[in-house]
Chains A and B, each alone.
Chain A
Amino acid sequence: MVKAVLQRSVSGFYTDLVTRPTGRAVRENIERDLAHGTIAVMDFTGVGCLDY
């Protein structure tokens, strides 16, 4: 669940995946948790806005 990763990646209660620092923090958390070669399903349920 991306929302769960988002909320543990950054301080503050965020439901929007916006800004570069937040995106970087979420990506790094996901990469750290994924075993090499894993196929992951990204569940964006509960995530509000998604920017570029």
Chain B
Amino acid sequence: MTRLIEVPTQFDDRSFDQFAASYAQAVDGERLLFDAHAAEWASPYGLVGLLAAGEAAARKGERPLLTAPANPDVVSYWARAGFFREAADLFEVHGKVPKVKVAVESEVLLPVTPVRAAEDVHAVVSTIQQRASAILSSELGLDPKATMGFAMALSESCQNIVEHAGTGGWVAVQAYNWRRKLARRVVVIAVADAGVGFRHSLEPTQAKRFGERWGDAAALEAALIQGVSRFRDPGRGQGLAGIRRYLARWEGKVAIRSGSARIAIVPRWDDDLPLRDGLPAFPGSQVLLIIPEQESEKSGGGSSKQ
């Protein structure tokens, strides 16, 4: 039996819960068909999240199906963002997928890239150092010194896959206009895996401390707010704390979804909720980092993707 899972037409962190709700209804043994034919846009978060869904689905049963976006501009963009290069290993892809080069254009700072080992993190950081510095300072008005912190945040968020997920994941980095409330350009780092998730990772060392309150939300709070690590050796748990400090300095946002909960450090330009529990369960962890253009006298403009 095949179960249809619709990919939202605007697929980002906000519509991800709708997607997760559909995914959560699948039962073992069903073959999943991820239907993206009506998709009009996907953020980096949506793209890596869709790959995580594909990996999780493939683990449970038959290789899932994916219907590619019907809109030629949309499917071309997904291809240039590197999505189909990774999707080919996970899905049986249906629909017309153009053979295009994975982007070296300015908005795709890092196409969808797999992260499985420390060497992958080195490669990601090196690529970003080469491509992103000029864009971050010229387009976002970031102090050139801030680009080093950007690479650090990227490195730490990718390393959490290698050290904790128990499986591989993906990362993507992109610049675009954030129309929702902010009306500025942003750079978005999205990292996703379909691994064990924060709750399972921290349970052996943290569950007792929280007692009945233990769950996905408590695990996210322990990791992001309290800086707890599953490793007891000193000096651990610095990665997410480092990311928080960097984003606080540049008025950025971090949001982490794992299991049935989502936590966010919400800057003044956003209207997200700091903690949500009872969400549709989704395997692994999905991380979103947003660094906005720094306020200046520069006037806005350019096309929006949202």
Which residues in A have some Cβ–Cβ distance to B below 8 Å? 12, 14-16, 18-22, 48-52
Contact = CB atoms under 8 A, between A and B. Distances in A.
B118 A48 contact: no
A16 B129 contact: yes
A15 B242 CA distance: 20
Contacts of A14: 122, 126
Given A48-B151, A51-B152, A52-B242, A20 B122 contact: no
Contacts of A15: 126
Interface stretch (B102-110, B154-162, B211-219): B154-162
B206 to A, nearest CB: 20
Nearest to B119: A12
Contact of A16 (B122, B159, B242): B122
Contacts, number: 56
Given A16-B125, A48-B129, A49-B148, 20 more contacts: A15-B126, A16-B129, A16-B155, A18-B159, A19-B118, A19-B155, A20-B118, A20-B163, A48-B125, A48-B126, A48-B148, A49-B125, A49-B151, A50-B152, A51-B151, A51-B152, A51-B155, A52-B156, A52-B238, A52-B239
A17 to B, nearest CB: 10
A49 B152 contact: yes
B122 A51 contact: no
B118 A21 contact: yes
Interface string B120-160: 01100110010000000000000000001001100110010
B162 A51 contact: no
A19 B159 contact: yes
A52 B242 CA distance: 7
Contacts of B151: 16, 18, 48-49, 51
B152 A12 contact: no
A18 B125 CA distance: 8
B156 A51 contact: yes
11 contacts: A14-B126, A16-B129, A16-B151, A16-B155, A18-B122, A19-B122, A20-B118, A50-B152, A51-B155, A51-B156, A51-B239
B242 A51 contact: yes
B118 A16 contact: no
Nearest to B240: A52
Contacts of A18: 121-122, 125, 151-152, 155, 159
